[in-house]
Structure 1
Amino acid sequence: MTDEAMVAEDGSDGATHIQVKVRSVDGHEVNFRIRRTTRMEKVMTVYCARIGHPVADVRFLYDGERISWDSTPEDLGMQDDDLIDVMVQQVGA
């Protein structure tokens, strides 16, 4: 299942924007077109709203490293079509 979400849209060229995929282990995927300077908090919040989980229960990983709220794609060295992995925290006995 694939959804598209536009976090930033202003009609400018692709030099300031990148396309990233956010995918959970169950295969739910959302594509984002974001500015290289957009805080990842925005992407995380929108994705969690789409899947119906609280942000506190979800972990976002890029190249195996956890993504912090205040980092940007530029900080992380992200390129077009990069993948962000999502892990939903399991609670229970």
Structure 2
Amino acid sequence: MRQHTPLKKLMNAYCERTGFDIRSIRFLFNTCLISERDTPSFLEMEDGSVICVYRAQGGPDDYNNLYLL
């Protein structure tokens, strides 16, 4: 993925492959919530960086089920 490409593209591709609704999961990098407008450059990601994907359960801060991307 290019450093200045918004992560929305990756997030949508993940949801299409897994069948998750993008509104029901959260993507985090280094404990920071990722926005669809964020880019790898903005988040200072490097090759091999791991994005954690959580399925929200209940309120906005209640996460369950960790998936690695």
**Shorter-chain TM-score category?**
0.7 to 0.9
Matched, 1:55 2:55: no
User: Using the alignment, how far apart are the partners of 2:31 and 2:53 within structure 1?
Assistant: 10
Q: Which runs of 5+ in 1 are unaligned?
A: 1-33
Structure 1 residue 90: Cα displacement: 2.5
Moved over 4 A (4+): none
The Cα of 1:89 is off from its aligned counterpart by: 1.6
* Alpha-carbon separation, structure 2, partners of 1:50 and 1:90: 21
Which residue in 2 is equivalent to 1:64? 31
Superposed CA RMSD in Å reads 0.9
CA deviations over 1:19-55 (Å, ceiling 9, x no partner): xxxxxxxxxxxxxxx0111101111000011110110
SS at match of 2:10: helix
* Higher strand proportion (structure 1 or 2): 1
Match for residue 13 of structure 2 among 27, 46, 50: 46
Larger Rg: 1
Asked whether 1:81 is paired with 2:48, we answer yes
How far did residue 72 of structure 1 move? 0.3
| Structure 1 length-normalised TM | 0.60
| 3-state SS, counterpart of residue 82 of structure 1 | coil
User: Which residues of structure 2 form unaligned runs of 5+?
Assistant: 59-69
Q: Report the TM-score when normalising by structure 2.
A: 0.80
Percent identity between the two aligned chains = 36
